[in-house]
Structure 1
Amino acid sequence: MALSEHEQRLLDQLEQQLHADDPKFAHSMASESRTSMSTRRLVIGSLITIAGILVLLAGIVYQNIFIGVAGFLVMGAGVYFATTKSKQAVSGEPAGKPSKATAAGKSGFMSSLENKWDERKRDQT
């Protein structure tokens, strides 16, 4: 079941607050989707690998060692590209930086949550 736009915004705000409050814990609890391989990189890397295989075969057909070696290097680069993570996924930074207007709204949102939490604690004691 998909989240509504409001629920998604709340979840994003909570996640960013967690990253601000305790970056070590947030990093250890990060979802696998952020650190998993990108489908785009996998497809592009596969296409590069196929092109490398074709160049390698052309080197064999023309009996030219330099074309074969170049094909092998292109093929290896494609496999490397497909199996590595992007710099953005490794650093764990969000794709877009929030604007100052949303940052101000987040602090208000978080302060209201903290106030509700404090009221709940006072009511329990």
Structure 2
Amino acid sequence: MPLSEHEQRVLEQMEHAMEAEDPKFATAMRGRTPKARQRRRIMLGSIGVVIGLVLVVLGVAQGVVALAVAGFVLMLGAGGLALTPPRRQSAKGVAVKGNGPIGAVGADGLTKPRRAKASKKAAKSGTFMQRLEQRWDHRKDQGQGW
């Protein structure tokens, strides 16, 4: 349920008062910015890749295959950590995949799914599989099939 304009103003006033009263607490409650989180992921991933590379080289040099494999797996995991974007969090703290639901937002704040628009041509010719079957039958009738 979205907040009214008055509620938003009151909330902003409360936030400003909290920041003025105790800036350290306000900073701690605000949390890290997305850029800082992404920077941290990249740094941890880079360090993991370097450590994994060292383990691979040591494993190959010492003839310990398990150490080399563990280093390679560490490199893959750390590279994935550094290169993948973090998951977004919803208001309830649940990870959100993608950009959320698509559709119109109603007065109650909930999204209503968008209706799929079917073209007149697609409606007349049927589904994808039906069109493929029609093409196959047409080719078979004309002797162009297998």
If the length of structure 1 is used for normalisation, what is the TM-score?
0.42
Question: Which is richer in helix?
Answer: 1
Question: Which is richer in strand?
Answer: 2
Larger Rg: 2
If the length of structure 2 is used for normalisation, what is the TM-score?
0.36
